[in-house]
Chains A and B, each alone.
Chain A
Amino acid sequence: MNAPLVCVVDDDDAVRLSIGLLVETLGFPVRCFAGALDLLADGEALEQAHCLVLDVRMPGLSGVGLQERLGRLGSEIPIIFVSAHGDVPMVARAMREGAFDFLQKPFNEQVLLDRVSEAVQVAGLRRAEAAWQQAFRARLDGLTAREREVLDGMTAGRLNKQIAEGLGISMKTVEQHRARVMEKLQVESVAELVAHVIRAARGLDAGRHGM
């Protein structure tokens, strides 16, 4: 897995540099950008970023504007906003859009470090989950049509006999299919299989809701 990159976007040179150095003390690689559009243009940074620290008000595209664009692109990177203004409507909007946190300058640097660490952790979990979902979906795609039917029967809690009757095949054939399904999906038990299928269904559900 790639190193958990943290990206800092602030138009104030000193603030940007200071946040960058601060976050580096956590041991994460840091990339700094003077404008929101610079970050948007850097596909590699966006790919690897586990956390964004964004200034709210910047010339050009604002931090909240960048958040919206990334949202449309389906990005799940946690965003921490920092602002020199006590801008309540802006904070409300950013939080509604799913911001990870909002800190008012000058902030307690330890709070920022804690929130960045948490954000990186969350991003890692999200990425791991996304990777698992992708892998599991690939395994599901490896099943034959008949194996899918047997899988559906198993997850519905039916007995082999019922599945056999439903599909008009012998018990023995059902048992063979079951073994193949367990092997292809790399599970040891029916309980594990059901848990995986539910987890995959949750992932699909979350995907539909644009999270």
Chain B
Amino acid sequence: MHDSGADVCDVAEPGGERQRHDCEVCYRAVFRAVPEPVLVADNTGLIVDANPAAHGLYGFGDTGLPGASLAELFAWTPRTFEGRPARLAAGPHRGRDGRSFLGEAVLSYIERPTGTLVILVIRNVTEALEAQSRLEEAEERWRFALDGAGDGVWDWSLESGEIEVSSSFRGLIGCPDAVRLRRGDIWPGRLHPDDVRSAMMAFAAHLTGARPITETEFRLRLEDGSYRWVALRGRVMERGPDGLPHRMIGTVRDVHERYLGAEREKRQQQELERAARLIHVGEMASSLAHELNQPLTALRNFSAVALHRLDEPGPLDERLRAPLTMIAEQALRAGAIVNQVRSFARKGGGQPGAVALNEVVRGVLRFMQFEIRAHAVQCVLDLEEGLPAVQADQVQMEQVLSNLIKNGIDAMDAVPSERILRIRSRSLPDAAVEVAVSDSGEGLADAVRSDPFAPFATTKADGVGLGLAICRSIVENHGGRLWVDSSSAAGTCFCFSLPVARA
């Protein structure tokens, strides 16, 4: 009806007395009914009108506010209205009964010949502000708690790709505080190549909603280039209206020691379980060699003494009885040691039967997976389908394979680049099966090249060089052969062949 937006009605309209009255009534009704507290004041801060909501808010009874000063309610000064501000920022407001709250005000002005009237719509923002600060404090607290517990905290904004990491996370990586990070700088940028796939799948499973949380372990590359095992947990904290994830928060915990410890523990347990059956022949041989050397030394010395005494004058039996008796004793002692080792090595072994070598390979690899991973060795299997079974003792086949695999792993210790262990099986035309274990190491050392199977030929600081010798005995006892294939250019390839089991 009117195009003027400033006032409710045009008081200057001639003959509008009636209309003005209606307008007044209407205005009063609205004024009283709105739930927002509204104050009307002049520019000296004197309140000229206030609605029931305002009276309620400030506790001035039903009619107490007109005549009071704005300065009684909040920090009002004559300068407050200078410059005609559109709003007053949140600040402390007081009520007559002593109550106080945080309030903000939206202001509008009516210029009149008698002076300016200011209309203030008050809003109590105490709860809203408290809720917000509670949230901020809570976030601050859990970040602090997590950080203090040694967990690195990360906060990833999926839209911008920026990721914020806590100081302990930076400390773990060894990354300076000032450097801004993006998601890609950490994952996949710092993940061990072998772990990228599983980690990314863990993220994807959560982001798509398939999993309630992202939980994964991977090796994280530090500034110095080394890797540490870490456990990452995280979940989406904010989603957009379309349900797409906006923000993901989580922790990273250094589990390197625990991981290695667990790996060791697991390996020890498994080794215990199968110790009697699947022991690394070389390790067992180390103690065997030491034990055997003692009676062998004594044997040789007593023999020399006996020979020497042969040439002495006097009755022979007197001079020779003692050394010869001791020779017999020491020979028995040596035999007992060998028997002990043999029964140890054979313990748990059954009767020879049809053995599927492919299965033996897979079983030994499962058993040695921790060792393989700990040495960062990549296993490549090339096992012939439908390989015929061989007639063999399963346990001894495991011993041979684990020993060859262990040798291969050890041989690549000094190799900085790719460490690849290949295991190939195939059937040969003459009713035999061949298995080859090759490594990408530096090949046989000169010291053992001429005959790596010779007893006591070793290049290992803690080895005695019996492993391959025993492996060869085992294979030969099964009617097979064990040899070194020197045709390959790099690394070493040990092969053995066994006759196929008769059906």
Contact = CB atoms under 8 A, between A and B. Distances in A.
B8 interface: no
B290 A109 contact: no
A21 B305 contact: yes
B333 A85 contact: no
A25 B302 CA distance: 11
Contact of B302 (A21, A85, A107): A21
A105 interface: yes
A12 B461 contact: no
A22 interface: yes
Contacts of A122: none
B308 A25 contact: yes
B375 interface: no
Given A14-B329, A17-B326, A106 B304 contact: no
Most chain-B Cβ atoms within 10 A of its Cβ — which of A19, A25, A82, A113?
A: A25
Contacts of A107: 297, 300
A14 B295 contact: yes
A22 B301 contact: yes
B408 interface: no
Contact of A18 (B293, B302, B309, B464): B302
Interface residues of A, number: 21
Contacts, number: 63
Nearest to B323: A21
A18 B308 contact: no
B330 interface: yes
Nearest to A18: B301
A53 to B, nearest CB: 11
A51 B52 CA distance: 116
B326 A109 contact: no
B300 A109 contact: yes
Contacts of B276: none
Interface magnitude class on chain B: 20 to 34
Interface in B317-349: 322-323, 326, 329-330, 333
A106 B461 contact: no
Contacts of B326: 14, 17-18
Interface in A57-107: 82, 84-86, 88, 105-107
B346 to A, nearest CB: 25
A15 interface: yes
B307 to A, nearest CB: 9
B290 A88 contact: no
Given A18-B297, A109-B300, A110-B304, A85 B290 contact: yes
Nearest to B465: A86
Nearest to A24: B305
A106 B296 contact: yes
A109 B304 contact: yes
B333 A86 contact: no
B298 interface: yes
Top 6 nearest A-B pairs (CB, nearest first) are A18-B301, A84-B293, A14-B298, A106-B296, A109-B304, A105-B297
Interface of B: 289-290, 293-305, 308-309, 322-323, 326, 329-330, 333, 461, 464
27 contacts: A12-B294, A12-B298, A14-B298, A14-B329, A14-B330, A15-B297, A15-B301, A17-B298, A18-B297, A18-B305, A19-B301, A21-B301, A21-B323, A22-B301, A82-B297, A84-B289, A84-B293, A84-B294, A85-B290, A105-B296, A105-B297, A106-B299, A107-B297, A107-B300, A109-B300, A109-B301, A109-B303
